[in-house]
Amino acid sequence: MTTQLFQVDAFAERPFAGNPAAVCILSEGASGASAGWMQRVAAEMNLSETAFVSQRENGFSLRWFTPKAEVALCGHATLATSHILWETGILRPDQVAVYETLSGTLTARSLRRNNDTWIELDFPATPPQATDAPEGLLSALGVNATYVGKSRFDYLVAVDSQDTVRMLTPDFGALLALGVRGVMVTAPATGRFDFVSRFFAPAVGINEDPVTGSAHCTLTPYWAERLGKLSMRAFQASQRGGILEVELIEDRVRIRGRAVTVLRGELLAEDPHKP
């Protein structure tokens, strides 16, 4: 039995932009796949995230792996998975995708807008708490901070301008020593975006993540408070770049983006330890 495998550019309106994620749809017989096998598949795919989805009675089980580790929350791979479930007909466009994950129940729904399809994720907010910068953080980034905070997973560093964010050349070895999943650097934006950011996560094998949905669970409450608005448009200023629409609703963040399938195939290397 083979496993369906897809590669999707998430938070992208065209191929080769946004953040690529692999999506493995586990068949009923493979739904008990071992974590070790999933980790090896993720290392083989060598993308920032590989999602493994299997159908359950009332929705889906969803897990995410970087090439190095399993993570508790991933936005772009959830968006990619949802895109595939609708595109392949596993779900109808009017059906909500319901996932059981390490971060609890997450949902996604498909939105039609001006003859285009967007996906809206409903994720838990992870607001930052102000903190002193740990030793080595700012020197690793080469910046002066206007704010430093820490969320459940990451450090948030705010700087003076979007140009500072775009020109960052971090010391990834020094960031690795901080003992957190990642570091996001952000600044207010001009023009059609409210804020920009970049995200660095060498601790989980990703020096720079192109577009990070889960980071916006922290960025959204931070900027909502400072800008005095609950709905915002964001740009992650990596080399590939990605556009996100975000909205803070009490303790939840709604994240909207688009996705494009760039590869379809079959994974022939099955888990030798599955039940």
**Which residues are marked as active site?**
49
Instruction: List the structure tokens of 220.
Output: 């959204």
Q: Which residues pair with 261 in a beta bridge?
A: 8
Non-local CB neighbours of 23 within 8 Å, separated by 6+ positions: 5, 6, 7, 8, 50, 51, 53, 77, 80, 81, 84
Non-local CB neighbours of 191 within 8 Å, separated by 6+ positions: none
Instruction: List the structure tokens of 130.
Output: 């102000």
Residue type, 192: R
Q: Rg of the chain over CA atoms, in angstroms?
A: 18
Distance, CA of 38 to CA of 50 (rounded, Å): 8
Around 51, how many Cα atoms within 13 Å sit in the side-chain half-sphere? 32
Give the sign of the dihedral formed by CA 183, CA 201, CA 52, CA 242: positive
Residue type, 191: G
